[in-house]
Amino acid sequence: MRQVVLSLWFWVGLTALGYAQSGGSAPAQPAKLTRKEQRALEKEQKELDKKLAEARAKRAAAPPLTEREREQSEALFVEGVKYVLLEDYNKGLENLLRAHTLNPDNAAINYKIAEANLLSGNLRDATNYAETATRLDPKNAYYYLLLAQIQASQKQYDGATKTYAALIKQVPNSGSYLFNLADLYLAQNKLPEALTTLNDAEKEFGQVDEISFKKQQIYLKQNKLDLAIAEGEKLIRANPTESRYVLAQAEMFASNNRFADAARVAQQALRLDPDSPQAHLILAEVYRQQNQPEQAGQELKLAFASSTLDIDDRVRILVGYIKQLPNPKESVNQLARDLAAATIKSYPKDAKAYAVAGDIQTLTDRKKDARDTYLKALRYDNSKFQIWQQVVLIDAELNQTDSLLTHTDRALELFPNQASLWFYNGVAYLLKKQPQKGVKALEHGRKLVVNNAELLGQFDAQLGDAYHEMKQYDKSDAAYEAALASDPNNVQVLNNYSYFLSLRGEKLDKAKQMSAKVVKQFPENDTYLDTYAWVLYKLKDYAGAKTALEKALQTTKDASVIEHYGDVLFQLGDKDKAVAEWQRARKTGVASDLLERKLKDRKLYE
């Protein structure tokens, strides 16, 4: 196979066309001119040609440049080039245009003026001077290349195509630019023309991988799968020891649902490279498409066992599994965990490996493991707020107050403006029976909430509880009212607010209204029934309180509820049964501080 070294200008051309993108995608489609715009361009071109002809005729009639004029023009040209290199395009153009006035038929001067205009953003003048340069010296490849670059930057791909065609025709040994021409045809979706150009390139340079890959693209767009496959076979024959060409062929078969061929060629790749993770991934996809999950899983495990499988490829696959979790089939959950563990084994110091493993553990109900895994991710990269957030949420869900306080403190050192961290930090202090510190954290975090009524309501709800604990009842009520303004149906607030009002014996009608709203929504909840009963008790509606408590007693094991039932019975005159309920409350667990006095004196204390 002949090898060819492509000119640097080939790569410059690609960059100009927008190929410097992942995956080598084709440039954007050219903008189509309206008929009016096309006529205007043609008219402008005719005027330019006329002026150029007039200038040449005038110059021909004029005496040749004197030696002094020639030296002056060359000096101005050198000075202009210097300023262009220094990126002072205004001074550069000033000198170049003066040189042009003295010697307008000098191709190099026109070329440099075009280049300076391109660099300064004046594409119209850049085009005109570049076209003049190619007319004055039709054998200089650089002049065509500049003109094509200017045209491509304006998405005038048809013009750029003609420029490259002229370059190849006019300039000897310029066959390498056939690749640029083919790319331009592809940009315009002119597939037959692109294919013809690539065939010309193949005739000149022989078997070149670039050519075969591009021809494959064209054949696939034309739905000519057999021809695309044939190009792949050519690549394999030309590179018999290169597994990547075999893998590309297998992927083409798989993506076109030719699974038997895909499996056959993937096995061929494994014979060349037994540890190829890509071959196992192709086989896994083949088995998945054929609804053979166990075989697909085994191939994935083999792929993930390879240390050469890139971390980003692993994460991409694992994210696909995350979208399926939690899965009713435990085998799927376990496979995801196994693949995540294999990723950690291959990349033990990469935070991404631990982060995705933590996500999988979280979704498959392995919360404690997930929290530990996230903490390992933070050991290698503590800059990801989302991971800190996951750690904090799991701490809160597991009711691990010490961990919640520790982790929110650490996270706040890095993310002091995250309101949610202040929220959980405040909650941790409240759970630690340190309401003053809790209030300080909550009040600070509340100020950071922006356009999030739900989070604001959560702050206010916690502040209501905290201020009640500190016996600052006005602030507690204000916080609860603010929470209800954000969410009038906040069950936690409605229950706590009404219960605390009942304990204080204040705003009992409002307390009854709020508590009844909760009970209506949750008629079987013993906690909410107890709150409602105690509000009725404070309103001296003992019969109503008895009914509510008897319903709560059907499910509760709470000593306080049982004690409250005894209190209601005492108020209704059934003292013996009241004492019996108080005794049952004592056996059940911790009730109020007054329970022992009630039992000793067989009297009600409040």
Q: Per 3-state DSSP, what percentage of the chain is helix, strand, and coil (rounded to 5)?
A: 75, 0, 25
Return the DSSP state at 274: T
Q: Supply the DSSP string of 350-410, one letter for each residue.
A: -HHHHHHHHHHHHHTT-HHHHHHHHHHHHHH-TT-HHHHHHHHHHHHHTT-HHHHHHHHHH
- Per-residue pLDDT tens digits for 406-441: 999 999 999 999 999 999 999 999 999 999 999 999
> If phi over 0 gives left and psi between -120 and 50 gives alpha, with beta otherwise, what is residue 399?
left
Residue 37 has pLDDT above 70, yes or no: no
Q: Does 469 lie in the same domain as 448?
A: yes
Q: Domain boundary at 469, 487, 505, which?
A: 487
Q: Does 534 lie in the same domain as 517?
A: yes
Q: Distances in Å between the alpha carbon of 256 and those of 149, 220, 229, 252, 316?
A: 37, 10, 11, 6, 22
Q: Does 543 lie in the same domain as 558?
A: yes
Token readout for 52 is 């150029």
Confidence of residue 5 (pLDDT cuts 50, 70, 90): very low
Q: Does 479 lie in the same domain as 424?
A: yes
Residue 8 has pLDDT above 60, yes or no: no
Of the segments 64-73, 239-248, 327-336, 419-428, which one has the largest average pLDDT value?
419-428
Return the DSSP state at 31: P
Confidence of residue 500 (pLDDT cuts 50, 70, 90): very high
pLDDT of residue 239: 87
- Per-residue pLDDT tens digits for 63-87: 678 888 889 989 999 999 999 999 9
pLDDT of residue 16: 27
Of 8-17, 92-101, 342-351, where does mean pLDDT reach its minimum?
Answer: 8-17
Report the distance separating Cα 382 and Cα 516, nearest Å. 47
Q: Does 535 lie in the same domain as 497?
A: yes
Q: Domain boundary at 472, 487, 502, which?
A: 487
Which CATH number covers residue 481? 1.25.40.10
Residue 31 is assigned to a structural domain of this protein: no
CB 472 within 8 A of CB 482: no
CB 564 within 8 A of CB 537: yes
Per the structure, the count of domains in the chain is 2
CB 537 within 8 A of CB 571: yes
Report the distance separating Cα 196 and Cα 178, nearest Å. 10
Q: Does 498 lie in the same domain as 469?
A: no
CA-wise closest residue to 585 among 530, 512, 542: 530
pLDDT of residue 36: 62
Report the distance separating Cα 161 and Cα 141, nearest Å. 14
CA-wise closest residue to 341 among 321, 326, 293: 321
Report the distance separating Cα 442 and Cα 483, nearest Å. 13
Domain hosting 405: range is: 382-487
pLDDT of residue 212: 87
Percent pLDDT > 70 in the chain is: 90
Around Cβ 95, how many Cβ atoms within 10 Å? 21
- Per-residue pLDDT tens digits for 525-542: 999 999 999 999 999 999
Q: Does 592 lie in the same domain as 502?
A: yes
Q: Does 479 lie in the same domain as 499?
A: no
Q: Does 523 lie in the same domain as 590?
A: yes
Q: Does 584 lie in the same domain as 553?
A: yes
User: Where is pLDDT greater, at 265 or 43?
Assistant: 265
Residue 136 is assigned to a structural domain of this protein: no
Residue 2 has pLDDT above 60, yes or no: no
538-559 average pLDDT score: 94
pLDDT of residue 63: 67
Token readout for 229 is 């496959």
CB 111 within 8 A of CB 143: yes
Which residue's entry shows tokens 């990269």? 381
pLDDT of residue 496: 96
Report the distance separating Cα 207 and Cα 569, nearest Å. 99
Residue 544: what are its φ and ψ, rounded to 5°? -65, -40
Report helix angle 526-538 to 491-504, nearest 10: 30
State the first-to-last Cα distance of the chain, in angstroms, to the nearest integer: 100
CB 242 within 8 A of CB 233: no
Residue 257 is assigned to a structural domain of this protein: no
- Per-residue pLDDT tens digits for 176-196: 899 888 988 888 889 999 999
- Write down the mean pLDDT value for the chain: 88
pLDDT of residue 50: 65
101-114 average pLDDT score: 93
Q: Does 568 lie in the same domain as 518?
A: yes
pLDDT of residue 12: 27
pTM here is: 0.69
Report the distance separating Cα 154 and Cα 108, nearest Å. 23
Report the distance separating Cα 140 and Cα 206, nearest Å. 26
Q: Report the C-alpha dihedral over residues 362, 364, 368, 369, rounded to 10 degrees.
A: -90
Return the DSSP state at 554: T
127-156 average pLDDT score: 93
Confidence of residue 100 (pLDDT cuts 50, 70, 90): very high
Which residue's entry shows tokens 């094991």? 557
Q: Does 574 lie in the same domain as 555?
A: yes
Residue 293 is assigned to a structural domain of this protein: no
Residue 290 has pLDDT above 90, yes or no: yes
Q: Domain boundary at 423, 454, 487, which?
A: 487
Report the distance separating Cα 167 and Cα 176, nearest Å. 11
Residue 317 is assigned to a structural domain of this protein: no
* Cis peptide bond upstream of 523, omega within 30: no
pLDDT of residue 49: 59
171-175 average pLDDT score: 90
pLDDT of residue 59: 54
**DSSP H helical ranges for 33-66:** 35-61
Residue 339 is assigned to a structural domain of this protein: no
pLDDT of residue 51: 58
Residue 24 has pLDDT above 80, yes or no: no
CA-wise closest residue to 9 among 114, 116, 105, 140: 140
Which residue's entry shows tokens 């799991």? 394
CB 111 within 8 A of CB 142: yes
CB 139 within 8 A of CB 123: no
Residue 465 is assigned to a structural domain of this protein: yes
Contacts of 353 (CB under 8 A, 6+ apart): 311, 314, 315, 340, 343, 344, 346, 347, 377
Contacts of 39 (CB under 8 A, 6+ apart): none
Residue type, 33: L
Residue 235 is assigned to a structural domain of this protein: no
